[in-house]
Amino acid sequence: MGLEEKLPSGVLLTSVEKAAGWARARSVWPATFGLACCAMELMMTGGPKHDLARFGMERASNTPRQADLMIVAGRVSQKMAPVLRQIYDQMADPKWVISMGVCASSGGMFNNYAIVQGVDHIVPVDIYLPGCPPRPEMLLDSILKLHDKIMNTKLGKNRDREITELENARLGLAPMRLPSPEGSQL
Ligand code: SF4
């Protein structure tokens, strides 16, 4: 069945926002950023069994200027943090970040001074992927979720309105209160 059967009248109506989201979601190029053992699973995802190429993402860019997705695979040391930020800054806009594995997301078991306790201290993260290490299927699932996010990204005035609504919703949140012990003045 071809496109002609799906669209018998030959007319397709959509918005610029939807068309841009669709095009962006289907042209994501990842930058290589394997830092530790999670990178093995990342490499597996590019292999023939899991076939990252089905999303057109098999081309891992060795220059950040030709990449718009950073998959942080593994723990981030304090020494690597400024390098990671520099590479992120050099990537093309709009850009996205997947934090792959518990070490990248929170420092994991490495609760010490040498490891950044979450890569979101360095760059904004779009998708947090749990696991130690996450399986390639989990990475594929996070990529599909990222595609959804990209396809539903608002543009122009719609985006400004969405940001304002989110900010107002956060400002309206009641501060968290802990139950005070009986008789306490807290
Ligand atoms: S989450 Fe597990 S597999 Fe991934 S970098 Fe940390 S220790 Fe290694």
* Each residue's pLDDT expressed in tens, for the chain with a length of 186 residues: 566 676 667 777 888 888 999 999 988 999 978 899 999 999 999 888 998 888 888 888 888 999 999 999 999 999 999 999 999 999 998 999 999 999 999 998 999 999 999 999 999 999 999 999 999 999 999 999 999 999 988 888 888 898 898 888 888 877 666 666 666 555
Which of these, 160, 141, 149, 152, lies nearest to 124 by C-alpha position?
A: 149
| Count of other CB atoms within 10 angstroms of residue 13 | 5
Q: What is the value of pTM for the model shown? A: 0.84
Q: How far apart are CA 142 and CA 129, in angstroms?
A: 7
Q: Is 133 in the pocket of ligand 1 (CB under 6 A)?
A: yes
Across the beta sheet with 127-129, what order do the strands follow?
30-31, 69-73, 96-100, 127-129
Protein residue with least CA distance to atom 4, ligand 1: 38
Out of 33, 40, 75, 77, mutate this one to test ligand 1's pocket (max ligand atoms within 8 Å of CB): namely 75
Predicted pLDDT of residue 12: 76
Which of these, 38, 84, 40, 90, lies nearest to 68 by C-alpha position?
A: 90
Whole-number Å distance, alpha carbon 110 to ligand 1 midpoint, is: 10
Q: Looking at ligand 1, which atom is closest to the CA of residue 133?
A: 3
Out of 102, 109, 110, 117, mutate this one to test ligand 1's pocket (max ligand atoms within 8 Å of CB): namely 102
Protein residue with least CA distance to atom 7, ligand 1: 132
CB 155 within 8 A of CB 20: yes
Predicted pLDDT of residue 172: 80
